[in-house]
Amino acid sequence: MHHFHYRNGRLHCEDVSLDDIADAVGTPVYVYSSATFRRHARVIGEAFEGMDCLIAYSVKANGNLGVLKTLAAEGCGADVVSGGELKRARAAGIPASKIVFSGVGKTREEIRLGLGEGIHQFNIESAAELSVLAEEAQALGRTAYVAVRVNPDVAAGGHPNISTGKAGDKFGVPWDDAEKAYDQIAATAGVEAVGVDVHIGSQIDQIAPMRAAFERVVSLIKRLREKGHSISRVDVGGGLGIPYRDTDSPPPPAEYANMIRDVTEGLGLQVILEPGRVIAGNAGVMVTEALYIKPAPERTFLIVDAGMNDLMRPALYQAHHEFMPLRERGASDETTTYDVVGPICESTDKFAAERTMPVMEQGDRIAIMSAGAYGAALSSQYNARPLVAEVLVNGDKFSVVRRRPSFDEMIALETTPDWLS
Ligand SMILES: *Cc1c(COP(=O)(O)O)cnc(C)c1O
């Protein structure tokens, strides 16, 4: 469900025409729907109604402050994977008591930041990290509340590059070492075990692998409790998939919630969720303009003004995104087949190959759909292109929530060594 639709022949986000935004802000530009963000947060909240549940939105999916503030107002917490994301979440008004800190390589400085803020939970991924956390907690005279991220050895995720729960993946403490990690925590000052954490991948379109992983986690929680560890939380990570194509049918949040309700039944656990994509994915599009149409042997290239630096998912994961022209076409309008490419000097700078779509003209605009998660968040200035702008829509209003930097701003961090000046 999202709030991008045609009205009077023009694609709108809520009550705002995307053409009006593109005219005002230029292209490429990301456009986010507040209503869609809010709706997704509410649907997930309602699915878990009656359970003790913390929705810790995964900031890495889309960490724009406008987005974070929108979700904070819905009562969401945050899952952060860096000190920068922790600062973003706090700057957006998300209380530290709703923040969990994940990630396989937290630096000492980042750990100190989390301790100083007094966050809800550190998700620990190795014995070595645990030692550093304990040292820093002792030095600050604080207690760090810890969940060990375990690797349940379950394959999942929409692409090998986004599977994180197999034995060979870098993530999580190996399954057979998990209990030892809790013994280490019990024997160490400054750290207190409160939960078990798992996150097996992203864009997961089946319930079964998640259920398998969570059942393993629950069996571990029961064993840990028998050994005297007081485990009161389970962090089930993120990973729920979204429909990128009309034919995709990922499990709805209610089915996911019912599975978790079932698996954790009677254990009195706080359930921590770390949804990213399922909240942000369909809440954003990227609007781009056709620069040139270039016929070539065997194919025609539609060259647009957005590049892989602005939306990396197709180049990184062979991801599929639907396109919607901003000007609505009729069912009888002519279609053709394009390779949709950007201006970047890389052959992977391609948003789609042999895509059947309406005939386009120079200057026509399209929305690249489902770009709200891992879109702007992964953007770069490659090819000395300014960072893509971001706009947040709310009803009939829109606001530029990240403007494009000027050229001077782009080079402001660079200095000329004295032997060159
Ligand atoms: C990326 C990530 C998430 C969010 O994953 P989605 O597939 O976007 O829901 C949650 N938890 C951790 C630890 C992650 O790395």
| Domain range annotation of the chain | 4-31+281-410, 34-279
Name the closest-CA residue to atom 3, ligand 1.
238
Per DSSP, 276 falls in state S
Please state which of the four CATH numbers 2.40.50.140, 3.30.310.80, 3.40.1360.10, 2.40.37.10 is assigned to the domain occupying 4-31+281-410: 2.40.37.10
Asked whether this chain's domains 4-31+281-410 and 34-279 adopt the same fold, the reply is no
Measured CA to CA in angstroms, residue 106 lies from 128, 151, 186 at distances of 11, 18, 21
315 in Cβ contact with 344 (< 8 Å): no
Is position 76 annotated as part of the catalytic site?
no
Question: Is 274 assigned a ligand-binding role in the annotation?
Answer: yes
Q: Which amino acid is at 128?
A: A
Triad 174, 180, 184: Cα angle to 5°: 125
Q: How far is the centre of ligand 1, averaged over its atoms, from the C-alpha of 162 (Å)?
A: 9
Q: How far is the centre of ligand 1, averaged over its atoms, from the C-alpha of 149 (Å)?
A: 13
With a threshold of 0.85, does the pTM exceed it? Answer: yes
Residues flanking ligand 1, CB < 6 Å = 58, 60-61, 79, 81, 102, 199, 202, 237-240, 274-278, 373
Domain 34-279, second-level architecture: Alpha-Beta Barrel (3.20)
Q: Which residue, among 155, 156, 150, 185, has the nearest Cα to 171 in the 3D structure?
A: 150
User: Whole-angstrom Cα distance, residue 354 to residue 336?
Assistant: 9
Question: Is 192 assigned a ligand-binding role in the annotation?
Answer: no
End-to-end CA distance of the chain: 56
pLDDT tens digits in sequence order for the chain, 421 residues long: 799 999 999 999 999 999 999 999 999 999 999 999 999 999 999 999 999 999 999 999 999 999 999 999 999 999 999 999 999 999 999 999 999 999 999 999 999 999 999 999 999 999 999 999 999 999 999 999 999 999 998 877 667 776 777 777 788 899 999 999 999 999 999 999 999 999 999 999 999 999 999 999 999 999 999 999 999 999 999 999 999 999 999 999 999 999 999 999 999 999 999 999 999 999 999 999 999 999 999 999 999 999 999 999 999 999 999 999 999 999 899 999 999 999 999 999 999 999 999 999 999 999 999 999 999 999 999 999 999 999 999 999 999 999 999 999 999 999 999 999 8
Triad 264, 131, 99: Cα angle to 5°: 45
